[in-house]
Amino acid sequence: MRAFNAELSKLFSLPGIWLAFLIGAFSPAVIAALDSIAQKEVIIAGVSTRLSEVGYIGLALGVQGVIILGVLAVSSEYLSESSESGGGQQIATSLTVVSSRLHFLLSKAGAVSVISIMLSVVAMITTVSATYLVLGEYTPVFEWSKLLGAVCYWTFTALLAFGLTVLTKNGMIPLAVLIINTSFISFSYLLSKVTKLALYLPDRAGIDMFMTMSDSFHTPFIGGFVMFAWVVVLFIVAAIVFHRRDVAS
């Protein structure tokens, strides 16, 4: 528990964490508001074919905040300390305090999960509010089961970013790949046009937890299970690599 509290404290001390909070709290609301404005006329007319996606689209595309969170949690450990502190990396100090590398990773992953859940709840509040502000009485009902699915999607996404950064020791690669994939070009979506196996990729399966789209493939439970399985496998691989890695390398 002490290691977990220490990881929470370290995360809240990072300057970049506030950018993650700002993006995570408001980008889903902006996306949802813009989508609601675009659909408002057809929703009022009762002919919208995307009514089930209203609002939720912001929660699907606005996960950049938790991606930054997951990346920062690991990449900050590899930043060089000040010359007064010896010029080493934070990771060496962290592993001196917490000798078990697995315990260290679990504590850090737990801190990322808790903050991701908190941030997703804030994002849901701002997203629902923005959608209602645009659509008023025409706002569709937000189902609690789908909102819970969105919380899981955000948390699993943060943990995927966390695991990838453990493997690469570099924040730029996972940050670029994941942000591009979630906001500009969905590689999973493009691959799904070539092979149905792409529907089992984590981001594509995870969205089925809370969004009902024309090409939905999984039930919410199966989609969540598939994404969770990816998180578990990636964490196991990252833990093995981290255990064998020379921290100073």
pLDDT in tens, 126-177: 999 999 999 999 988 889 999 999 999 999 999 999 999 999 988 899 999 9
Q: Total structural domains in the chain?
A: 1
Mean pLDDT of 7-21: 91
In a domain, 28, yes or no: yes
Domain of residue 165, residue span:
2-76+90-244
In a domain, 84, yes or no: no
The tokens describing 169, both together, are 């020791």
In a domain, 249, yes or no: no
Nearest alpha-carbon partner for 247 in 43, 48, 94: 94
In a domain, 169, yes or no: yes
The tokens describing 111, both together, are 């801190």
Give me Rg for the CA atoms of the chain. Answer: 19
| Confidence check: pLDDT of 219 > 80 | yes
**Ordered alpha helix ranges (H), 76-100:** 90-97
In a domain, 191, yes or no: yes
In a domain, 195, yes or no: yes
